[in-house]
Amino acid sequence: MDQKLKGQTAIITGASSGIGSGVARALAAAGASVVVNYPTAATEAAASGVLEEIKGQGGAGIVYQCDVSKESEVVKMFADVVKQFGTVDILVNNAGLQRDASFHEMSLEQWNMVLGINLTGQFLCAREAIREFLRRGIVPARSKAAGKIICMSSVHEVIPWAGHANYAASKGGIMMMMKSIAQEYAPHKIRVNSIGPGAIKTPINHQAWDTPEAEKKLLELIPYNRVGVVEDIGAAAVWLASDDSDYVNGTTLFVDGGMTLYPGFSTNG
């Protein structure tokens, strides 16, 4: 692959599985040194496995434990990465989870956990990234931008989702946070965009595709008629992180096989 991100350092949160691991592999293949973030000791082995795979392909990076919902841990992660690599050029705000419940049965704990990781976690990481981008400024040999942030949103930043109000609210919140900070820091040549995945085969949604019946039902929502894979998101992340997308700022790139095209209307409603 073209080494479009050569010499740059990327932090990918929640990268021990699923989309985060795919993005870490893709950014590393494009030449970035990657920080494979994972939240707990229980996910350390998986993170190390992702890094080994990356190194086996000639890539470089480290693993780093940090719960993105904890301010002190996020501040320390950025400080340690800057100490080790000199700076951070790219943040992929990917960590996220679901705690599903009917709205009238949803506990405050389920609400707070999803908002705390999916939205506050993205706020904390983006804030530390922007502080570092402002400190360093543009290094023309590496990129036209002073820094790039990619927020992992979802089609559910625009599609309401019954039974998942906490998750949909977190993704809707990411959309307006992303646009607001893109507007605020564009004059500093900091680019902030989101990826809105549709259905991608990962542990978060395995019950939606791991039987032929479930997959067939899921495909009714996807005009392009295939379920996505993490490589689809990795390729989009490399483009959004590279200077190929230098004039793209404050937008959500839906990578969803057309899920946001109201497929229910495809036969004239």
**Residue nearer to ligand NAD on the CB measure, 94 or 242:** 94
Q: State which of residues 33, 69, 166, 249 lies at the interface with ligand NAD (CB under 6 A).
A: 69
Distance CA 207, CA 128 (A): 35
Q: State which of residues 120, 154, 194, 249 lies at the interface with ligand NAD (CB under 6 A).
A: 154
State which H helix or E strand residue 194 sits in.
strand 190-197
Minimum CB separation of residue 151 from ligand NAD in Å reads: 9
Site string for ligand NAD, 231-250 (x = CB under 6 A): --------------------
Q: Is 19 in the site for ligand NAD (CB under 6 A)?
A: yes
> How many residues make contact with ligand NAD (CB under 6 A)?
29
Structure token pair of residue 213 = 């019946």
Distance CA 34, CA 9 (A): 6
Distance CA 111, CA 105 (A): 11
* Interacting span for ligand NAD (CB under 6 A) from 11-19, 76-84, 129-137, 212-220: 11-19
Minimum CB separation of residue 112 from ligand NAD in Å reads: 12
Distance CA 205, CA 245 (A): 30
**Residue nearer to ligand NAD on the CB measure, 207 or 267:** 207
Distance CA 56, CA 6 (A): 17
Asked whether 188 and 196 are in contact (CB, 8 A), the reply is no
Asked whether 98 and 164 are in contact (CB, 8 A), the reply is yes
Minimum CB separation of residue 94 from ligand NAD in Å reads: 5
Distance CA 147, CA 138 (A): 8
Q: Is 173 in the site for ligand NAD (CB under 6 A)?
A: no
Q: Is 165 in the site for ligand NAD (CB under 6 A)?
A: no
Query: Catalytic one among 167, 224, 247, 262?
Result: 167
State which H helix or E strand residue 12 sits in.
strand 9-12
* Interacting span for ligand NAD (CB under 6 A) from 4-12, 176-184, 199-207, 243-251: 199-207
Asked whether 237 and 23 are in contact (CB, 8 A), the reply is yes
**Residue nearer to ligand NAD on the CB measure, 145 or 241:** 241
**Residue nearer to ligand NAD on the CB measure, 97 or 186:** 97
DSSP string, 71-115: HHHHHHHHHHHHHHHS---EEEE---------GGG--HHHHHHHI
Whether 167 is a known active-site residue: answer yes
Q: State which of residues 5, 11, 12, 13 lies at the interface with ligand NAD (CB under 6 A).
A: 13
Distance CA 3, CA 9 (A): 13
Catalytic positions are 167
Q: Which residues bind ligand NAD (CB under 6 A)?
A: 13-14, 16-20, 37-39, 43, 67-69, 94-97, 117, 121, 152, 154, 197, 199-200, 202-205
